[in-house]
Amino acid sequence: MKGWVGKLDEVAASARSHVCVGLDPDPALLPVADVLAFNRTIVDATRDLVCAYKPNLGFYEALGMAGLEALQATVRHIRSVAPGVVIVGDAKRGDIGSTARAYARAMFEVWDFDAVTVSPYLGRDSIEPFMAYEDRGAIILCRTSNPGARDIQDLPTGSGPLYLRVAELIESWNVAGNLGMVVGATYPEELAEVRAAHPTLPLLVPGVGAQGADVSKAVRAGAGRMLVSSSRGLIYASRDPDRYAEAAREATETLRAAINAALETD
């Protein structure tokens, strides 16, 4: 059975891409009113340039039932036109075992995501329900891209800052080979430190584009299995209703080229 990591390896090689497009529909930024039409257009314009799409559930939940229906139809569209591309549900789930089992069923059996972002704060038993789906997996928060990450993730432990201890735990939990980590591009030194200690784990690397991280530094720091994620910088490259698809494709091509150039330089 090919899991999501094997799927990622295949599409990254075939598309020569580590680009993960965040599908985050913000009504204040959308060039068209119909969320599903917008998502389908973005996917159709970029599907040969990416390794993954990452819808953030918060944006869909904020739109009520119409948003959730658009999310469901978006996933189905990606499966139809880009079956080899990984779909990451950016949900950041984390709860006790019984609730975690319900979350895992929802993420994998209802929404049909290949992988889902998960918080490690409740420990291994909150992660195990996601690990149990061997063809799917969890991408666990380790060193997030936001400025407030330092408030908790830098707290000292007996083996260094907390984020490094979290990375060690994720490695030890990865018995089924279906776990990854979120490590932000906005912290390239920390990203390099995590990658050096964990050379084979997939890394979801947010923070390029609107968050301002340096693509080359991040890519060189995290080189290996990685999904370099950008949302606003790609999908809202233009807000012109007649041009946003073309602009999204151009921005995605530019990001893919920058990533590949950094890898070749490294």
- Residue at 146 is within a domain: no
Is 124 inside a domain boundary?
yes
Helix axis angle, 124-131 to 162-173, nearest 10°:
40
Determine the 3-state secondary structure of 51 from DSSP. coil
The answer for 147, left when phi > 0, alpha when psi is -120 to 50, beta otherwise, is alpha
Model pLDDT, residue 227: 98
The H-or-E segment that residue 127 falls in is helix 124-131
Split into its structural domains, the chain has a count of 1
Cα 191 to Cα 117, 120, 145, 174, 182: the distances in Å are 18, 18, 10, 19, 10
Inside any domain, residue 187: no
Query: What is the reported pLDDT for 2?
Result: 79
Asked, for residue 233, whether it belongs to a domain, the answer is: yes
Q: Give the pairing type, strands 52-55 and 137-143.
A: unpaired
248 lies in some domain: yes
What is the pLDDT, as a whole number, of residue 153? Answer: 94
Q: Which of 16, 10, 7, 49 is nearest to 264 (CA)?
A: 16
Any domain includes 194: no
Q: What is the 3-state secondary structure (H, E, C) of 204-216?
A: EEECEHHHCECHH
Phi, psi for 27 (deg, rounded to 5): -55, -25
CB of 191 within 8 A of CB of 215?
A: no
Burial letters 37-54, b for 16+ CB under 10 A, else e: ebbbbbbebbbebbbbbb
Does 80 reside within a domain? yes
Tens place of pLDDT per residue across the chain (266 aa):
579 999 999 999 999 999 999 999 999 999 999 999 999 999 999 999 999 999 999 999 999 999 999 999 999 999 999 999 999 999 999 999 899 999 999 999 999 999 999 999 999 999 999 999 999 999 999 999 999 999 999 999 988 999 999 999 999 999 999 999 999 999 999 999 999 999 999 999 998 866 777 999 999 999 999 999 999 999 999 999 999 999 999 999 999 999 999 999 75
Q: Which domain holds residue 243?
A: 4-138+206-265
What CATH number did the domain enclosing 60 receive?
A: 3.20.20.70
Q: Which of 47, 41, 90 is nearest to 244 (CA)?
A: 41
Residues classed as catalytic: 92
Any domain includes 25: yes
| Residue 1: predicted pLDDT | 58
